[in-house]
Structure 1
Amino acid sequence: MVTAGVDEVGRGALFGPVVAAAVILRPQDETWLRQQGVTDSKTITPKKRQSLVPIILSVVVDAQVGWVSARTIDQINILQASLQAMRNAIRRLSPQPTQCLVDGNQPIPRLGIKQQTVIKGDQMLVEIAAASILAKVWRDTLIIRLARRYPGYDLASNKGYGSPKHLAGLQILGPTRYHRRSFKSCQ
């Protein structure tokens, strides 16, 4: 049985894509990754997350990222976009998993693979925690790059979330093409 862990990040952001990562680990590497500090990406510092990426990538069978743009989020809603990002990441995996452990309580529609939802899975299962770290670092790196192109929103600091400086930037400059216009703060 090939099991993948999958998690998404950026669901509550006002700017940028929602991003998911899917990870396949060998069971013998799970304890070692936990000992290295792999846990829920929200509970560790950006520097620690960054340092864990090469450690995770050194032992995965495969890891892939999937994302859905702000424009598509506006068309299909953030929940459906999050599930699509997870499906995109899983479908890129090789080998294809026979089972997926999905963070949260929503199964991924049209996946065609056995799945188990796990509430707080990023805190409990190292496969999901590793996916959460990879997705968070990938998305944060993208947002920092986009921050250079879109000054005035403090994106490098807030990573696209609705901080006071970001909201002030929206008031003064209006939304960019990467803002989620279906979100009330961006209208």
Structure 2
Amino acid sequence: MNKSPLPAFECCYQGRLLAGVDEVGRGPLVGAVVTAAVILDPEKPIPGLTDSKKLTEKRREALYEQIIERAVAWSLGRCEADEIDRLNIYRATMVAMERAVAGLPTRPEYVLVDGNRCPDWHWPSEPVVKGDSRVEAISAASILAKVTRDREMAVLHEAYPDYGFASHKGYPTPMHLEALGRLGATTHHRRSFRPVQEAIEGVGMFSAGAVDELPYPSDLFENID
């Protein structure tokens, strides 16, 4: 049975400086939650924008480059694993979203956020359920955030190849849980998440060749607040 198409979203703001915001990484057991804010240029359309999860990796990478080149402004925000442990994942996501919008080199006049609520901030804004499929600016933000986080997981995989980060991107798949149970947790795991807690209690922390700081590609950090 085919699902009904999402209803069109009508935003009350009709100006040019509309920012879309989305996040990637609430569910994984490792790494940062990454957010993005994007102000698109209506005079430089980007065909094919949609929810990043519906795109192939190759298509996401191509759209990532177009967004960077054609957007009026874009910015990335993040909360690291230790912040997530301290704040909880919901609050950390809200903080990361605020950092992304605050980092925009062009101040937005209105902000649309994917989901059912917005952070407690001073920008005029509203949430959009399934906004990454309904609002192009949010779609663009979802693509920037996902490509950025996936690249970080590829770097983490190089440092810890036995965990399989390149394939599962840090989510609690059977492969990831098996590695946690066998090897223990890395310093990049979220210790407040139950599977990680159980791995630390049972095995401890991974120590052989452990890496505390990763040499992330510098371009991932451009425009990050």
TM range (shorter): over 0.9
TM-score of the superposition, structure 2-length normalised?
A: 0.79
In 2: Cα distance, 1:152 partner to 1:170 partner: 10
1:19 pairs with 18, 34, 38, which one?
34
Letter paired with 1:15: V
Percent identical: 46
Pairing 1:139–2:154 present: no
In 1: Cα distance, 2:41 partner to 2:58 partner: 26
In 2: Cα distance, 1:159 partner to 1:113 partner: 32
Q: How does 1:63-142 map to 2 (within 5 A)?
A: 63-109=74-120, 111-142=121-152
1:184 pairs with 186, 194, 209, which one?
194
Task: Specify the SS of the correspondent of 2:23.
Answer: strand
| Residue 20 (structure 1) shift | 0.2
1:88-127 residue CA offsets vs partner (Å, 9 max, x unmatched)? 1100001111211000012112x21101100000000000
TM-score of the superposition, structure 1-length normalised?
A: 0.94
Give the structure with higher Rg (CA).
Answer: 2
Residue 47 of structure 1 corresponds to 58
Task: Specify the SS of the correspondent of 1:27.
Answer: coil
Letter paired with 2:189: H
In 2: Cα distance, 1:19 partner to 1:123 partner: 19
| Higher RCO (C-alpha 8 Å, min separation 6) | 1
Unaligned runs of 5+ in 2: 1-14, 198-225
Letter paired with 1:22: A
Structure with higher helix content: 1
Contact 2:21 2:35 in 1 (8 A): yes
Pairing 1:60–2:71 present: yes
In 2: Cα distance, 1:130 partner to 1:62 partner: 11
What is the alpha-carbon root mean square deviation over aligned residues?
Answer: 1.0
Alignment length (residue pairs): 182
In 1: Cα distance, 2:82 partner to 2:161 partner: 20
In 1: Cα distance, 2:162 partner to 2:117 partner: 36
Unaligned runs of 5+ in 1: none
| Residue 131 (structure 1) shift | 0.3
Residue 163 of structure 1 corresponds to 173
1:56-97 residue CA offsets vs partner (Å, 9 max, x unmatched)? 122101111011001110111101111111111100001111
